[in-house]
Amino acid sequence: MSAVASRTERLTAARDRIFDAVIIGGGVNGACLYDRLCREGYRVALLDRGDFACGTSQASAMMVWGGLLYLRCFDLGSVYRFSRARDSMIREMGDLISPRVFRYCTAPGAVLGKYVVLGGLYAYWLIGHFNRRHPALEAHYPEERLLAQSAGSLTYEEAVLKMSDSRFVLHWIAPHTLPRAVALNYCAVDGGDFAQSEGVWRLRAQDRLGTSQIEICSRLVVNCAGVWTDQVNAAFAIQSPYKHALSKGVYISFPRPSDHEIPLIFESGAHGDVMTSVPWGPVAMWGPTETAIDDADQGFVFLLDQRNRCLKAESRKEDILALRCGVRPLAVKTDYDKDVYPLELSRRFRIATDPWRPWISTYGGKLTGCTMLAAKVAVAARPFLPSPPTVVPRPRLPGAVPRTRFPGLEKPVPDPAWCKAREFCCTLEDYLRRRTNIAQWLPRGGLGRHDENLPHLRAVCLALADGDGKAAEADLARYRAQVAERFDAVLDAA
Ligand SMILES: Cc1cc2nc3c(=O)[nH]c(=O)nc-3n(C[C@H](O)[C@H](O)[C@H](O)COP(=O)(O)OP(=O)(O)OC[C@H]3O[C@@H](n4cnc5c(N)ncnc54)[C@H](O)[C@@H]3O)c2cc1C
């Protein structure tokens, strides 16, 4: 039997049973909770209105970090919690996460003097219980040649994902399958009711790859919809003491110089914030922004100037390989209406249970600490769930991922047919952006500067559409329109 049941089988299964829990939102928080509840032996459905990890969880810096930045606002509680989460993730998930030295580059005339930063790094190390490598000063270092100016650097240790953030999300989902676990991407929950007499939620969900609407029944609902949590709660008139403030984060990617191996951190001069250059495969991601916004779907800018201020070689917008935009969900009280710089808001996650109905909402939550959030939600869920039958170990996916070549990339990428059969991959965008890193590593979402990769993308579409030429062309046309709108037009307007 294949590790993942077909979409038709999963849709049928979603209709014909009462789940112990339905999780709305397949980002890192929903996915990690899904894994946890599945392993506790419950019948669980995970639903995402788009692809798994298509929200904020595909836009992170992929760092598992102790929250150094929050030290600046003296949010010591967050630093303590994130440092603990980082260290336990390194301990327990060594195959997915590895410790990594970071370099804080100081420039002549920087607002924060070298020794102030060193003091801060020592405080950070101390709050992290001395678990990581101790901070150190370095007068000279290999990346110095890339910088516009340098007055030495300070090194300290964090951790990074060994895979992309999207694949990290998938790794929680893919091993679980029928009969107890049902994961459906492209399945949007848009309403429903709680039948008090039966103690069951009846959720209305739209199969966005077909035309059907399905009813999904569950004793408990957990809202893990990230920046859309408030919208989902509003559709069900859920009460909560929290809501989300939204903070937009953008990275722009450039070709990575071969000697840029360590993440570099620069003072940005604004709000005491920093800019980073994060090496990732053939690219280096420059960013992020930290901008308060009112709406989850707004756009980008300002990073090129910052980059040209810090690095020696001038970058032009034509050099940009990819944009990476995401919106951070930050938990605040419902009556919060201040206009503060997002970095000053607490990064704690929050969990709220509706006073009348079995519905749990999650707020905040990062890659770092996703297992902690899942553990806390699992405890909050216990009053609504039957005693679990048995705690099962996480099933292992059989065999290695078959790989194939893609022009312009040195290393082979996962095979599209395999991604379709085993990893819920439905569209060209799923494949290029989340099953592989092609869309982030090659120009214009993998199309190439002059559309030179079109024949390869057409072949991928055919594999995903099981040889149906018409469906494949429609998928390709959709993707090209998306690149024109989200990359070409954005850079033209900048
Ligand atoms: C620029 C940037 C850099 C970051 N870097 C880091 C980092 O280095 N380390 C770190 O730990 N954290 C980082 N973060 C934070 C982290 O990425 C996010 O906090 C985290 O990914 C949020 O995950 P989530 O599961 O809550 O939300 P999401 O990933 O957004 O998932 C929510 C999901 O809910 C789905 N959904 C919404 N409405 C519905 C509906 N009606 N029905 C079904 N599904 C629905 C969406 O499609 C989406 O997939 C960064 C964030 C940003 C923006």
pLDDT at 111: 63
| Interval 50-97: pLDDT, tens | 999 999 999 999 999 999 988 888 889 989 999 999 999 999 999 999
| Interval 244-289: pLDDT, tens | 998 888 999 999 999 999 999 998 765 667 899 999 999 999 998 7
pLDDT at 242: 95
CATH 3.50.50.60 domain locations along the chain:
7-57+167-240+354-384
Q: Where are the alpha helices (DSSP H) in 157-277?
A: 165-173, 229-235
pLDDT at 254: 96
Reported confidence tier of residue 342, pLDDT bands at 50, 70, 90: low
43 in contact with ligand 1, CB cutoff 6 A: no
350 in contact with ligand 1, CB cutoff 6 A: no
Name the residue with tokens 């991922």: 401
Q: What are the tokens at 380? A: 């909050």
- Level-2 CATH architecture, domain 7-57+167-240+354-384: 3-Layer(bba) Sandwich (3.50)
367 in contact with ligand 1, CB cutoff 6 A: yes
Rounded to whole angstroms, the Cα distance separating 420 from 414 reads 10
128 in contact with ligand 1, CB cutoff 6 A: no
Nearest ligand 1 atom to alpha carbon 47: 43
Nearest ligand 1 atom to alpha carbon 329: 19
328 in contact with ligand 1, CB cutoff 6 A: yes
Nearest ligand 1 atom to alpha carbon 287: 1
27 in contact with ligand 1, CB cutoff 6 A: yes
Residue 270: CA atoms inside 13 Å, Cβ hemisphere, count?
Answer: 12
Of the two residues 113 and 466, the one the predictor is more confident about is 466
User: Any idea which fold 87-162+244-332 has?
Assistant: D-Amino Acid Oxidase; Chain A, domain 2 (3.30.9)
Find the 344 Cα to ligand 1 centroid distance in Å.
Answer: 19
226 in contact with ligand 1, CB cutoff 6 A: yes
29 in contact with ligand 1, CB cutoff 6 A: yes
Rounded to whole angstroms, the Cα distance separating 242 from 349 reads 10
Find the 456 Cα to ligand 1 centroid distance in Å.
Answer: 30
| Interval 372-421: pLDDT, tens | 999 999 999 999 999 877 778 877 776 788 999 999 999 999 999 999 99
Nearest ligand 1 atom to alpha carbon 50: 47
54 in contact with ligand 1, CB cutoff 6 A: yes
Rounded to whole angstroms, the Cα distance separating 363 from 347 reads 10
Nearest ligand 1 atom to alpha carbon 29: 25
Residue 427: CA atoms inside 13 Å, Cβ hemisphere, count?
Answer: 19
Burial status of residue 229 (CB atoms within 10 A of its CB: 0-12, 13-18, 19 or more): buried
Residue 68: CB partners within 8 Å, gap ≥ 6? 79, 120, 121, 124, 156, 158
| Interval 195-242: pLDDT, tens | 999 999 999 999 999 989 999 999 999 999 999 999 999 999 999 999
329 in contact with ligand 1, CB cutoff 6 A: yes
pLDDT at 274: 85
Find the 190 Cα to ligand 1 centroid distance in Å.
Answer: 19
240 in contact with ligand 1, CB cutoff 6 A: no
Find the 54 Cα to ligand 1 centroid distance in Å.
Answer: 8
Find the 274 Cα to ligand 1 centroid distance in Å.
Answer: 21
CATH 3.30.9.10 domain locations along the chain:
87-162+244-332
Q: Give the residue-averaged pLDDT of 428-449.
A: 98
Find the 123 Cα to ligand 1 centroid distance in Å.
Answer: 29
Q: What are the tokens at 175? A: 């091993």
192 in contact with ligand 1, CB cutoff 6 A: no
3-state secondary structure of 116: helix
| DSSP assigned state of 134 | P
Find the 488 Cα to ligand 1 centroid distance in Å.
Answer: 25
63 in contact with ligand 1, CB cutoff 6 A: yes
Average pLDDT, rounded, for the chain: 91
Residue 311: CA atoms inside 13 Å, Cβ hemisphere, count?
Answer: 24
368 in contact with ligand 1, CB cutoff 6 A: yes
225 in contact with ligand 1, CB cutoff 6 A: yes
279 in contact with ligand 1, CB cutoff 6 A: no
Secondary structure tally for the chain: helices H, strands E? 14, 20
288 in contact with ligand 1, CB cutoff 6 A: yes
Nearest ligand 1 atom to alpha carbon 325: 1
Atom 19 in ligand 1: residue holding the nearest Cα? 366
Atom 14 in ligand 1: residue holding the nearest Cα? 60
61 in contact with ligand 1, CB cutoff 6 A: yes
28 in contact with ligand 1, CB cutoff 6 A: yes
